[in-house]
Amino acid sequence: MQLNLSTPIGKGRHRQCYAHPANQNLCIKIVHSLAHGGDKELNRELKYYRHLQARTINWDILPRYHGQVATDQGTGYVYDLVRDYNGDVSRDLGFYLNLGQQENNFAWLTPLLAMLRLQLAQNRIVTMTLKPGNILVKRISQDQAILVIVDNIGEASLIPAASYIPYFYAKKMTRIWRRFMQLLEKYGYNAPLAITRADKKQLHSWPAQSTPALPAPAHR
Ligand SMILES: Nc1ncnc2c1ncn2[C@@H]1O[C@H](COP(=O)(O)OP(=O)(O)OP(=O)(O)O)[C@@H](O)[C@H]1O
Ligand SMILES: [Mg+2]
């Protein structure tokens, strides 16, 4: 498969993400750097994907993994490409956080975070460090959005206790969310992440409710 002429959709520390040349709903990730254990990371993620595929989870908040393909850039790993309702590739949370900071508008963020946290817990999905660049804001209609995690799922420990034991799940994810909320403070977002009864109720009809207006770039 030829990827060398297409511009990547995104680039992280060790992977490059391209649109699939033959299917607009898929993307292909290539490991471009073995620094920071790029290949190890990938193997860990694929192992975790196998674990999730063997269970029944809600795939709304994670792109599905579709296996490997050979490309001119080396082995490619195929995932769902996250797109907004209008076909645009979804922007990452960092993009909206920067705009939110400029506009001092974070009303949209709290319900999205609450739903992500509840969805992860309900599906017993573990993550490593949560970062704005690894979370996409998927606009599912003109006034609705959900968060999708595209990177850093699973756990690094030899014995993945958090994946199997509710007590360790809660302990680990409380720590991960606390750190993530501290990171968000750097953007001027200070709401504590308290899950309300109303949030829990919304989980049943999720994602039916509308999202407070997202900050919009001046021209788009
Ligand atoms: N499934 C996807 N749909 C749309 N865009 C994506 C998808 N996966 C990744 N991206 C984009 O590509 C970028 C790089 O992908 P990814 O985070 O997987 O790379 P990475 O090298 O593993 O990242 P990191 O530096 O966080 O380890 C993301 O920040 C995101 O903007
Ligand atoms: Mg990343």
Q: What is the pLDDT of residues 6-43, one digit of tens each?
A: 788 999 999 999 999 999 999 999 998 777 777 888 99
CB 150 within 8 A of CB 63: yes
Q: Would you give the DSSP letter of residue 32?
A: -
DSSP letter (8 states) at residue 21? T
Between CA 10 and CA 40 the distance in angstroms is: 20
Residues 213-220: what's their mean pLDDT? 80
Rounded distance, CA 14 to CA 33, Å? 5
How many whole angstroms separate alpha carbon 126 and alpha carbon 170?
10
Q: Which ligand is nearest to the CA of 138?
A: 1
The token duo for 7 is: 């511009």
If you average pLDDT over residues 95-111, what whole number do you get? 96
> Where do the H-state alpha helices sit in 104-216?
109-122, 161-164, 166-185, 197-205
215 CA to centre of ligand 1 in angstroms: 22
**Residue with CA nearest ligand 1 atom 20:** 12
Ligand 1 test: best mutation among 83, 135, 151, 152, most atoms within 8 Å of CB? Answer: 151
Mutational pocket test of ligand 1: of 60, 134, 183, the residue with most ligand atoms within 8 Å of the beta carbon: 134
Q: At what angle do helices 93-103 and 109-122 cross, to 10 degrees?
A: 150
Amino acid identity for residue 166 in this structure: P
Q: Which one of the ligands is nearest to 150 CA? A: 1
Alpha carbon 152 to chain centroid distance?
8
193 has pLDDT over 90: no
Question: Residue 59 corresponds to which tokens in the numbers above?
Answer: 């795939």
* Strand 23-31 to 144-149 pairing: unpaired
Query: Which residues make Cβ contacts (< 8 Å) with residue 95, sequence separation at least 6?
Result: 137
Cα 75 to Cα 10: distance, rounded to the nearest angstrom = 17
CA 1 to ligand 1 centroid distance, Å: 20
Q: Which atom of ligand 1 is nearest to the CA of 11?
A: 14
pLDDT of residue 26: 97
